[in-house]
């Protein structure tokens, strides 16, 4: 039966930079995935709850405002609390190298920075889920 | 052979021989995807009427520049956008920039300030001082301009939804130094329409937002005559992904919408229009950009005169600030960004800008470091001092190519104006997502063009360096900033006269619900150290909050 | 990489009210096959109490925005709400941008509201093939009211009438929606007609046009007379009254005994449709059908055998006792 990869693309915090998030959402859609875009100014709580209700496979956070060290851990914690630690969390934006390492340590699976080819993002997700079908 | 016949013959021969030896396999369109010919000649600017389309610098329709002497009379203002951490941190940066020859100041605020939250608000967690300087009250503003003479310099503040409040803080800070309102010059961005369209830092719905703006227009024309009350911005529209023509058209459409709002509020167009200024992007496609600036001046002048009945020449002048395009800069081989920025800055100068910010090479990595910002400033200084381009006003006028492109830009803008009119004007078009969808589509199309290598970005999809190590210093924001700022705001609430603060806030609420100009009360709120967040909360009670109609 | 699942364990957690279990069960229903059947078997006995409201109307009319407003109103009355929002799957990529949720994000901190976005996937029109089952699941999860938003284009918008107790048709003053609605047959299925965006000009006029059209319909005296209402989701106007109308229709159905009848109709058509579906799938998969066709199509191509004759032959291998 048809089985689709479902992705929640979210903009946490006060950040208004949405060009990248929308580009990524469109690229994932064109790669055959089902995308739920939350819109701007989301709290970690809103993101985690949406992810659970939508039973997404992936949560992608786009953060260019420097609030990543607050937002990523919060979303991860809330997902765990809601029994959804299986959801893969990754993201992109302006995130310094040293913070990328810290985020990967707490379980963020990958950070894609400026200049990323969206094909790479698609490849990465497909790579994670390809053993399925 | 000469004359018309000769021209025809020459052209035919030229077209026959064009491409004979083969052509490069390159996408020969502008960075906006607009087609460009191999050659432009006199027939591409047929019927060009010098006085009607160009005029002399300082003369209607100002295509060749807004001042007769242009840069021989006065260089553009070198104004680097700066702000990070606490007011104290940023004050130090301002002194550094001024010491290095910068001629104007430009404040970058942090996200909580931009969105109207105090530093101790729950929604501010993790965001304080990270994207700009944290300003909660008059106290922070006083620190920000410590040891800076506000009569001797102009300051631009990139603030929109809460612009009235930060203007009140600024004016009060000057007042406390003994500088009168008439002596203070500067700019608030205060362009809410492009917030809904591109920058996405709104607070109130359009209607009350426009009311606040017209209050500012009215107040400043009476009391702060040197203040630029709206900086109508294409920069953000372009950075969100639009094409050059969209930037031009949407920005001017916003400008006209403000003019209409001012007129509808009963203001005399010649009283407020001279204080409107513009803010454009300097992107990579050199000639397309120059054509854009020239077309902008021409369209504005003609419409202001013909449609809005402006009599004062100053109402027809389109003065503009320019910032080089941050979105063209790369995380890969960041030093290359210095070169990109230099080309972009040059286009702005050749296009006749009044003020310029050049981006730093570390644009994609962090807020600019001292070293990076100095190089960026030096780039402008080199253009001014070393290249000789300042000698002549509008040096590219008369170029077949540039004049044809200028016309083309104008025509494309006019097409967009008609579509916006059909949708019922700018606010209605925003509600229907027209701008947002146009921009989103252009942004995605560009991304795909880059990924297909139709558009080349050195270091990103060509000429990459494997395993590159970034080797430039980066600015880090100390996480302690947030705690300091939270403590400072608690101190203020403990020290000020809270009864007075509450009374002024109540007065503000009453003025908002009624029709009085908000600025005088806003100043009173500032003077008794009401915080930005408190003022916004009070206004939200009356004005409500905007909800974005998102379109994908 | 996606974790496997254990249906009995999920059902256990579902019964305890865990949102994550309910959400995963919906995914299984969406993906179809025998697992989906097992899920439905596991929850069907828990259904029947929820009231189902379908929302249709052209894209952009304000379906999602109004559902958001209505949900707020129903929450004041402490009703537990399930929302199923369907968006189209791209025929080119098979992907989808599910955009309805954006308008409802402010509900996500309310534990009694469950919003699920579905892509239309294989379905030809306005709803997803698993809409019935997902509705059942929300019903079994204890929701009082289930609001179903269709894609809003295409013929099979009409299908919503087979799935909902109340059908709401949402229109806007612009672009002569009323006429479009008539053409698309929406006039026949609507119980409530909403003229949204009443903050725009001409809304009242457009609403009157709909009223006039409805007057032409022959309706028995004791039958429900479709109602027309003006709303503005933007300004939250008319939305309380709108919620009231839905309630009124529900009471009407209950008192007239039509509620039970409708429920039966819905289930009847579900069984029929599921059967047809299954039969079709079996036929498509049948080796003998494939073989016979491979053998005999040449006769059809060359005019020796009419299509009907061949079908008669094929029919012989299908045995329905
Ligand atoms: C465009 C831009 C803007 C536009 C935004 C328009 C819009 N609607 O998006 C405008 C001009 C409005 C703007 C404003 C501001 N900006 Co700005 N902006 C940029 C800029 C130049 C480019 C960002 C961009 O869109 N790039 C193009 C897209 C396609 O790339 P991207 O977003 O990086 O996305 C790619 C990857 O990151 C990744 N990705 C991104 N998201 C996701 C999500 C997922 C799930 C995945 C897998 C991948 C992924 O994949 C994408 C494709 O390659 C950056 C600097 C830079 N060059 O990166 C500064 C930058 C982000 N801005 C900055 C700042 C400070 C601001 C302001 C706060 C300035 C101020 N004080 O007023 C304002 C406020 C904006 C707001 N409301 O939030 C800073 C942030 C500093 C920091 N974090 O430390 C930056 C880094 C510039 C700088 N060095 O100072 N900005
Ligand atoms: N002016 C106005 N706009 C509305 C109203 N209701 C919805 N909208 C806007 O119309 C657009 C489409 O709304 P949406 O709920 O997504 O429509 P749907 O496609 O039918 O679900 C959005 O931009 C909404 O903000 C209304 O009553 N008045
Ligand atoms: Mg919708």
A8: closest CA of chain C, how far (Å): 10
**pLDDT per position as a tens digit, B109-164:** 999 999 999 999 999 999 999 999 999 999 999 999 999 999 999 999 999 999 99
Ligand number with the minimum distance to the CA of C86: 3
The H helix count followed by the E strand count for chain B is 22, 10
Burial of C5 (0-12, 13-18, 19+ CB in 10 A): middle
Q: What is the DSSP letter of B461?
A: T
Give chain B's radius of gyration (CA, Å). Answer: 24
Chain-chain contact of A55 with C122 (C-beta, under 8 angstroms): no
Rounded Cα–Cα distance for residues C9 and B425 (Å): 57
CA of B74 to the centre of ligand 3 (A): 55
Average pLDDT over every residue of B275-296: 98
Confidence of residue B438 (pLDDT cuts 50, 70, 90): very high
CB pairs under 8 A between B and C: 5
- Adjacent-strand bridge partners of B35: B29
The secondary structure element, H or E, covering residue A55 is: none
Chain-chain contact of A132 with C2 (C-beta, under 8 angstroms): yes
Q: Whose CA is nearest to atom 14 of ligand 2?
A: C62
Residue-range domain boundaries for chain C: 1-44, 47-256
Q: Whose CA is nearest to atom 1 of ligand 2?
A: C197
Q: Whose CA is nearest to atom 37 of ligand 1?
A: A93
Of C3, C96, C102, nearest to A34 by CB-CB distance is C96
Residue A1's pLDDT is 42
Residue-level length of chain C: 321
Average pLDDT over every residue of B377-396: 98
Confidence of residue C201 (pLDDT cuts 50, 70, 90): confident
What three-state secondary structure class fits B6? helix
Q: In A, which residues are within 8 Å of C138 by CB distance?
A: none
Q: In A, which residues are within 8 Å of C105 by CB distance?
A: 38-39, 42, 46, 50
CA of C231 to the centre of ligand 2 (A): 11
CA angle C152, C157, C158 (to 5 degrees): 155
Rounded Cα–Cα distance for residues B232 and B118 (Å): 26
Residue C2's pLDDT is 64
CB pairs under 8 A between A and B: 87
Mean pLDDT (chain B, rounded): 97
Nearest to B288 by CA among B534, B92, B15, B36: B36
Of A30, A37, A54, nearest to C93 by CB-CB distance is A30
| Location of structure tokens 């209409």 | B260
Name every residue whose Cβ is closer than 8 Å to that of residue B5 and which is 6 or more positions away in sequence.
Answer: none
Q: Whose CA is nearest to atom 10 of ligand 1?
A: B236
| Location of structure tokens 């916006």 | B420
Pick one of 3.20.20.240, 3.40.50.1100, 3.20.20.140, 3.40.640.10 as the CATH number of B75-440: 3.20.20.240
Contact C249, C192 (CB under 8 A): yes
Contact B210, B229 (CB under 8 A): no
B527: closest CA of chain A, how far (Å): 28
Strands A34-37 and C96-98: parallel
Q: What are phi and psi of C165, to 5 degrees?
A: -80, -40
Rounded Cα–Cα distance for residues A28 and C45 (Å): 38
DSSP string, C106-171: GGTT-TTEEEEEEE-TT-SSSS-TTHHHHHHHHHHTT-SEEEEE----SGGGGGGGGT-SEEEEEE
Ligand 1 contact, A26 CB (< 6 A): no
A10: closest CA of chain B, how far (Å): 13
Contact C142, C163 (CB under 8 A): no
Q: Does B460 touch chain A (CB under 8 A)?
A: yes
The CA distances from residue A41 to A109, B547, C187, in Å, are: 23, 11, 39
Q: In B, which residues are within 8 Å of A115 by CB distance?
A: 330-332, 364, 457, 459-460
Give the number of other CB atoms < 10 A from CB of residue B464.
Answer: 12
The CA distances from residue B165 to B307, B529, C122, C163, in Å, are: 33, 11, 54, 53
Name the B residues in 415-454 with CB < 8 Å from any C CB.
none
**pLDDT per position as a tens digit, C235-251:** 999 999 999 999 999 99
Contact B316, B299 (CB under 8 A): no
Nearest to B484 by CA among B139, B157, B173, B177: B139
Q: Whose CA is nearest to atom 11 of ligand 2?
A: C60
Chain-chain contact of A115 with B330 (C-beta, under 8 angstroms): yes
Average pLDDT over every residue of B236-247: 98
Region of residue A124 (phi > 0: left; psi between -120 and 50: alpha; otherwise: beta): alpha
**pLDDT per position as a tens digit, C28-72:** 999 988 999 999 999 999 997 799 999 998 888 999 999 999 999
Disruptive mutation site among C59, C60, C95 for chain B (greatest number of B CBs within 10 Å)? C60
Confidence of residue C178 (pLDDT cuts 50, 70, 90): low
Just give the CATH number of C47-256. Answer: 3.40.50.300
Chain-chain contact of C93 with A86 (C-beta, under 8 angstroms): no
Residue C126's pLDDT is 64
User: Which chains have at least 3 CB atom pairs separated by less than 8 Å from chain B?
Assistant: A, C
Cα first-last separation, chain C: 45
Name the C residues in 71-100 with CB < 8 Å from any A CB.
89-90, 92-99
What three-state secondary structure class fits C8? helix
Contact B525, B508 (CB under 8 A): yes
Which atom in ligand 1 lies closest to the alpha carbon of residue B443? 29
Give the number of other CB atoms < 10 A from CB of residue B552.
Answer: 19
Contact B481, B134 (CB under 8 A): yes
Residue B455 pLDDT greater than 80, yes or no: yes
Name every residue whose Cβ is closer than 8 Å to that of residue B20 and which is 6 or more positions away in sequence.
Answer: none
Burial of B267 (0-12, 13-18, 19+ CB in 10 A): middle
Residue C318's pLDDT is 77
Q: In C, which residues are within 8 Å of A25 by CB distance?
A: 97
Q: What is the DSSP letter of B128?
A: T
Residue C231 pLDDT greater than 60, yes or no: yes
Pocket of ligand 2 (CB under 6 A): B 431, 549; C 59-65, 100, 103, 152, 196-197, 199-200, 232-234
Residue-range domain boundaries for chain B: 75-440
Rounded Cα–Cα distance for residues A116 and A119 (Å): 8
Tell me the HSE value of A104 on the side-chain side, using a 13 A CA sphere: 11
What three-state secondary structure class fits B517? coil
**pLDDT per position as a tens digit, B173-190:** 999 999 999 999 999 999
Rounded Cα–Cα distance for residues B272 and B270 (Å): 6
Tell me the HSE value of C220 on the side-chain side, using a 13 A CA sphere: 2
Q: Does C27 touch chain A (CB under 8 A)?
A: yes
CA angle A114, A120, A122 (to 5 degrees): 115
Rounded Cα–Cα distance for residues B486 and B480 (Å): 10
Q: At what angle do helices B286-306 and B244-264 cross, to 10 degrees?
A: 20
CA of C65 to the centre of ligand 3 (A): 7
**Distance of alpha carbon B330 from the chain centroid:** 21
**pLDDT per position as a tens digit, B310-319:** 999 999 999 9
Ligand number with the minimum distance to the CA of A109: 1
Q: Does A55 touch chain C (CB under 8 A)?
A: yes
Residue B550 pLDDT greater than 80, yes or no: no
| Location of structure tokens 């429920």 | C263
Residue A3's pLDDT is 80
Nearest to B412 by CA among B43, B13, B34, B42: B34
- Adjacent-strand bridge partners of B157: B107, B188
Disruptive mutation site among B447, B457, B472, B480 for chain A (greatest number of A CBs within 10 Å)? B447
Tokens found for residue B473:
């210093």
Contact A106, A70 (CB under 8 A): no
What three-state secondary structure class fits B341? helix
Residue C316 pLDDT greater than 50, yes or no: yes
Ligand number with the minimum distance to the CA of C100: 3
Residue C273 pLDDT greater than 90, yes or no: no
């Amino acid at each position: 039966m048809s089985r689709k990869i479902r992705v929640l693309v979210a903009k946490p915090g006060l950040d208004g930079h949405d060009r990248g998030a929308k580009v990524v959402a469109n690229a994932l859609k064109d790669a055959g995935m089902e995308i739920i875009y939350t819109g701007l100014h989301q709290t970690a709580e809103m993101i985690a709850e949406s992810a659970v209700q939508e039973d997404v496979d992936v949560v992608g956070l786009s953060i260019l405002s420097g609030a990543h060290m607050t937002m990523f851990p919060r979303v991860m914690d809330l997902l765990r609390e809601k029994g959804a630690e299986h959801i893969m969390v990754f993201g992109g934006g302006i995130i310094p190298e040293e913070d990328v390492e810290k985020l990967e340590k707490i379980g963020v699976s990958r950070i894609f920075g400026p200049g990323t080819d969206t094909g790479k993002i698609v490849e990465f997700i497909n790579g994670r889920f390809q053993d399925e079908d | 052979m000469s004359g018309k016949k000769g021209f025809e013959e020459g052209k035919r021969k030229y077209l026959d021989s064009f491409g004979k030896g083969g052509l490069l396999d390159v996408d020969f369109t502008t960075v906006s995807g607009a087609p460009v010919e191999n050659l432009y000649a006199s027939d591409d600017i047929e019927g060009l009427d010098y006085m009607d389309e160009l005029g002399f610098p300082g003369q209607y329709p100002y295509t060749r520049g807004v001042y007769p002497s242009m840069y021989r009379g006065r260089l553009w203002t070198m104004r680097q956008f700066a702000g990070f951490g606490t007011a104290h941190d940023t004050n130090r940066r301002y002194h550094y920039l001024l010491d290095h020859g910068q001629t104007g100041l430009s404040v970058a605020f942090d996200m909580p300030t931009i969105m109207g939250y105090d530093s101790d608000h729950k929604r501010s967690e993790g965001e304080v001082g990270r994207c700009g300087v944290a300003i909660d009250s008059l106290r922070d503003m006083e620190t920000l301009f410590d040891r800076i003479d506000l009569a001797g310099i102009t300051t631009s503040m990139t603030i929109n939804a809460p612009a009235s409040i930060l203007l009140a803080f600024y004016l009060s800070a000057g007042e406390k130094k003994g500088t009168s309102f008439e002596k203070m010059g500067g700019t608030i961005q205060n362009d809410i329409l492009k917030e809904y369209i591109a920058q996405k830092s709104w607070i109130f719905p359009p209607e009350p937002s426009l009311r606040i703006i017209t209050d500012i227009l009215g107040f400043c024309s009476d009391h702060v005559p040197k203040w630029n009350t709206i900086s109508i911005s294409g920069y953000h529209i372009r950075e969100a992904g639009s094409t050059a023509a969209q930037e031009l058209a949407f920005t001017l459409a916003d400008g006209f919408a403000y003019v209409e709002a001012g007129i509808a509020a009963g203001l005399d167009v010649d009283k407020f229009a001279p204080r409107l200024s513009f803010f454009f992007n300097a992107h990579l496609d050199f000639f397309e950009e120059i054509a854009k600036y020239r077309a902008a001046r021409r369209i504005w002048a003609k419409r202001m005169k013909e449609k809005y009945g402006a009599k004062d020449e100053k109402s027809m002048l389109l003065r503009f600030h320019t910032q080089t395009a941050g979105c063209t800069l790369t995380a890969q081989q960041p030093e290359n960004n210095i070169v990109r920025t230099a080309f972009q800055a040059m286009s702005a100068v050749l296009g006749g800008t009044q003020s310029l910010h050049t981006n730093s090479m570390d644009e994609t990595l962090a807020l600019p470091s001292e070293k990076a910002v100095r190089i960026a400033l030096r780039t402008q200084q080199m253009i001014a001092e070393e290249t000789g381009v300042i000698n002549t006003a509008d040096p590219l006028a008369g170029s077949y190519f540039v004049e044809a492109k200028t016309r083309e830009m104008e025509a494309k803008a006019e097409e967009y104006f008609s579509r916006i009119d059909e949708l019922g004007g700018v606010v209605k078009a925003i509600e229907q997502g027209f701008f947002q969808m146009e921009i989103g589509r252009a942004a995605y199309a560009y991304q795909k063009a880059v990924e297909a290598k139709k558009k080349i970005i050195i270091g990103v999809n060509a000429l990459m360096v494997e395993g590159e190590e970034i080797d430039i210093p980066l600015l880090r924001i100390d996480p302690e900033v947030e705690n300091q700022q939270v403590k400072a705001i608690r101190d203020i609430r403990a020290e000020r006269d809270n009864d007075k603060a509450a009374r002024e806030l109540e007065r503000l609420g009453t003025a908002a619900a009624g029709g009085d100009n908000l600025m005088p009360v806003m100043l009173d709120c500032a003077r008794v150290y009401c915080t930005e967040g408190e003022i916004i909360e009070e206004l939200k009670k009356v004005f409500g909050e905007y909800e974005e109609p998102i379109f994908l | 990489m996606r974790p496997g699942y254990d249906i009995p364990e999920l059902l256990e957690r579902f019964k305890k009210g865990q949102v994550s279990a309910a959400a995963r069960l919906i995914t299984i229903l969406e993906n179809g096959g025998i697992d989906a059947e097992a899920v439905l078997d596991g929850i069907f006995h828990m259904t029947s109490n929820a009231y189902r409201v379908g929302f249709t109307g052209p894209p952009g009319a304000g379906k999602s925005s109004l559902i958001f407003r209505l949900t707020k109103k129903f929450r004041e009355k402490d009703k537990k709400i399930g929302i199923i929002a369907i968006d189209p799957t791209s025929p080119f990529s098979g992907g989808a941008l599910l955009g309805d949720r954006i308008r409802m994000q402010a509900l996500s901190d309310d534990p009694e509201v469950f919003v699920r976005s579905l892509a239309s996937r294989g379905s030809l029109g306005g709803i997803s093939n698993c809409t019935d089952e997902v509705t059942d699941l929300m019903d079994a999860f204890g929701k009082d009211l289930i609001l179903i938003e269709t894609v809003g284009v295409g013929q099979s918008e009409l299908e919503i009438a087979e799935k909902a107790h109340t059908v709401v048709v949402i229109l806007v003053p612009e672009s002569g929606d009323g006429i479009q609605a008539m053409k698309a047959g929406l006039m026949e299925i609507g119980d409530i007609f909403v003229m949204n965006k009443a903050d725009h000009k001409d809304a009242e006029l457009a609403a009157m046009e709909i009223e006039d059209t409805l007057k032409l319909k022959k309706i028995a005296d004791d039958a429900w007379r479709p109602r027309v209402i003006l709303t503005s989701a933007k300004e939250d106007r008319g939305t309380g009254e709108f919620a009231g109308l839905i309630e009124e229709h529900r009471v009407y159905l209950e008192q007239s005994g039509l509620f039970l009848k409708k429920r039966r109709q819905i289930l009847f058509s579900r069984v029929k449709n599921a059967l047809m579906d299954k039969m079709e799938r079996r036929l498509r998969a049948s080796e003998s059908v494939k073989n016979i066709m491979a053998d005999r199509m040449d006769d059809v191509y060359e005019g020796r055998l009419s299509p009907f004759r061949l079908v008669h032959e094929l029919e012989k291998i299908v045995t329905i006792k």
